C-alpha cells in the first residue's frame, strides 16, 4: 500500500430510508436516546449533543430485505464504560429489545435492530494500550459480554438519563459487500485504510490512524450479493469525515484517476464502493 489515508479520518453521519418516520423517531429518541435536531418534511436529523449522527428519510412502503449489500450496522461509540452501563440500564428499563452483546477484546458492545431492520451497535472502547497484536495482527474476538461487570460501574448517584452522552460519536460502520478482495482493493489500496484484522475469508476490518476499525466489510449476505432494491429500507450513504479540504481533494483526485464515478457537490463528494454502498466524503466540520 503506497497511500495512507489521514490518521485523523473518522466516520460521520449515516443516512437511511425508513418506512414510517414517526415510528423511527419514537424508537431513536425514546429507545436509543438520540435527540431530534431538525426535521425537513420527510427527513429528520438526529444527534447526540450537538453532533449529528443519523439522517432518516421516510419512503412509504420501504421494506426489509435480506441477501443484499448495504448496512450491517452503524456503531455509536459512547465515551466510557460508565456511559455504556447507563445506556444498558436505560435500554432495560425502557424495554428496548437488545438482540446481542459481545466482548471484542478492544471493546464491549450491545446490538439492536430498529423497526426497519437496520442494525445498531452501541459500544465503548478499551484503552489502546490494552489492545493485543498477536503475530502482528490486532486481536478482535467475539466473547461473552460481562453485563454484571458493566453494570457495576453504576453507583446510584448518576444523573437522570436524558439520552446518549453528548460526546457519543459514530465509531464505525459495518457493511455487507459482494467480495472481500474487491472491497479491500477499494478501501485499502485506493482510499488508504489499513487492514487491521480479518475473520477468515468472510470479513475484513479496516481503519485510519491505527484504530481497531472504522469500517467492517463482510460477505455474510452472500458472495455476489446485489445492492438492495429501490423499495427497500436501506443505506443511502455514510460519511467518511476527513480533517481538511486538502485531504478531501486528494481522495477525490485518486477516485477520479481510478476511473470511478464521483460527484462533486458543495456539501461533499458522493461515490460508491464496489458493492454499491453509497459514500459521502466530507470534511469533519461539515459532517
Place of cell 472481500: 180
Which residues is 235 bridged to in the sheet? Answer: 16
| Domain spans in the chain, listed from the N-terminal domain onward | 10-286
What does the pLDDT look like over 113-139, one tens digit per residue?
999 999 999 999 999 999 999 988 899
Mean residue pLDDT of the chain comes to 96
Alpha-carbon distance values, 202 to 26, 39, 51, 198, 218 (Å): 35, 38, 33, 8, 6
Q: What is the pLDDT of residue 135?
A: 83
Please say if the pLDDT value at position 179 is more than 70.
yes
d(CA 212, CA 225): 26
Largest CA distance in the chain: 57
Please say if the pLDDT value at position 287 is more than 70.
no
d(CA 220, CA 181): 14
CA 12 to chain centre: 8
Place of cell 453528548: 166
Closest alpha carbon to 215 in 75, 118, 37, 100: 75
Q: What is the pLDDT of residue 114?
A: 98
Residue 95, class by beta-carbon neighbours within 10 Å (0-12 exposed, 13-18 middle, 19+ buried)? exposed
**Single pTM value for the model:** 0.97
Please say if the pLDDT value at position 14 is more than 70.
yes
Query: Please, are residues 41 and 262 in contact by the beta-carbon 8 Å criterion?
Result: no
The mean per-residue pLDDT over the stretch 137-161 comes to 94
Q: What is the pLDDT of residue 284?
A: 80
What pairing do the DSSP bridges indicate for beta strands 70-77 and 119-125? parallel
Where is 129: in which H helix or E strand? none
Q: What is the pLDDT of residue 141?
A: 94
Q: What is the pLDDT of residue 21?
A: 98
pLDDT bucket at 1, cuts 50 / 70 / 90: low
The mean per-residue pLDDT over the stretch 69-73 comes to 98
d(CA 36, CA 52): 9
Task: Pick 10-286's CATH classification: 3.40.50.1100, 3.90.110.10, 3.20.20.370, 3.10.180.10.
Answer: 3.10.180.10
Closest alpha carbon to 125 in 196, 77, 172: 77
d(CA 202, CA 214): 17
What do you get for the CA distance between the two ends of the chain, in Å?
27
The mean per-residue pLDDT over the stretch 234-249 comes to 96
d(CA 23, CA 274): 32
What does the pLDDT look like over 202-221, one tens digit per residue?
999 999 999 999 999 999 99
Please say if the pLDDT value at position 156 is more than 90.
no
Radius of gyration (Cα) for the chain, nearest Å? 18
Which residues is 110 bridged to in the sheet? Answer: 101, 122
Closest alpha carbon to 241 in 208, 194, 211: 208
Query: Please, are residues 164 and 85 in contact by the beta-carbon 8 Å criterion?
Result: no
The mean per-residue pLDDT over the stretch 55-67 comes to 96
Amino acid at each position: 500500500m503506497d497511500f495512507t489515508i489521514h490518521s485523523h479520518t473518522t466516520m460521520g453521519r449515516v443516512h437511511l430510508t425508513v418506512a414510517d418516520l414517526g415510528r423511527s423517531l419514537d424508537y431513536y429518541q425514546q429507545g436509543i436516546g438520540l435527540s431530534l435536531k431538525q426535521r425537513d418534511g420527510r427527513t429528520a436529523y438526529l444527534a447526540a449533543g450537538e453532533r449529528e449522527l443519523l439522517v432518516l428519510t421516510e419512503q412509504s412502503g420501504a421494506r426489509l430485505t435480506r441477501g443484499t449489500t448495504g448496512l450491517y450496522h452503524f456503531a455509536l461509540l459512547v465515551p466510557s464504560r460508565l456511559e455504556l452501563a447507563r445506556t444498558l440500564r436505560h435500554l432495560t428499563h425502557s424495554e428496548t429489545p437488545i438482540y446481542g452483546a459481545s466482548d471484542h477484546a478492544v471493546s464491549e458492545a450491545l446490538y439492536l435492530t430498529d423497526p426497519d431492520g437496520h442494525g445498531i451497535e452501541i459500544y465503548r472502547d478499551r484503552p489502546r494500550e490494552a489492545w493485543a497484536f498477536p503475530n502482528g495482527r490486532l486481536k478482535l474476538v467475539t466473547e461473552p459480554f460481562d453485563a454484571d461487570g458493566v453494570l457495576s460501574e453504576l453507583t446510584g448517584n448518576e444523573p437522570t438519563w436524558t439520552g446518549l452522552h453528548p460526546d457519543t460519536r459514530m465509531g464505525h460502520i459495518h457493511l455487507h459487500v459482494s467480495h472481500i478482495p474487491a472491497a479491500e482493493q477499494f478501501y485499502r489500496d485506493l482510499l488508504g485504510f489499513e487492514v487491521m484484522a480479518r475473520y477468515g475469508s468472510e470479513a475484513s476490518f479496516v481503519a485510519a490512524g491505527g484504530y481497531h476499525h472504522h469500517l467492517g466489510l463482510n460477505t455474510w449476505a452472500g458472495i455476489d450479493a446485489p445492492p438492495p432494491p429501490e423499495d427497500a429500507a436501506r443505506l443511502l450513504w455514510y460519511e467518511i469525515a476527513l480533517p481538511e479540504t486538502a485531504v478531501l481533494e486528494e481522495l477525490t483526485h485518486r477516485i477520479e484517476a481510478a476511473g470511478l464515478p464521483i460527484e462533486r457537490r458543495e456539501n461533499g463528494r458522493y461515490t460508491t464502493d464496489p458493492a454499491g454502498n453509497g459514500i459521502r466524503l466530507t470534511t469533519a466540520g461539515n459532517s
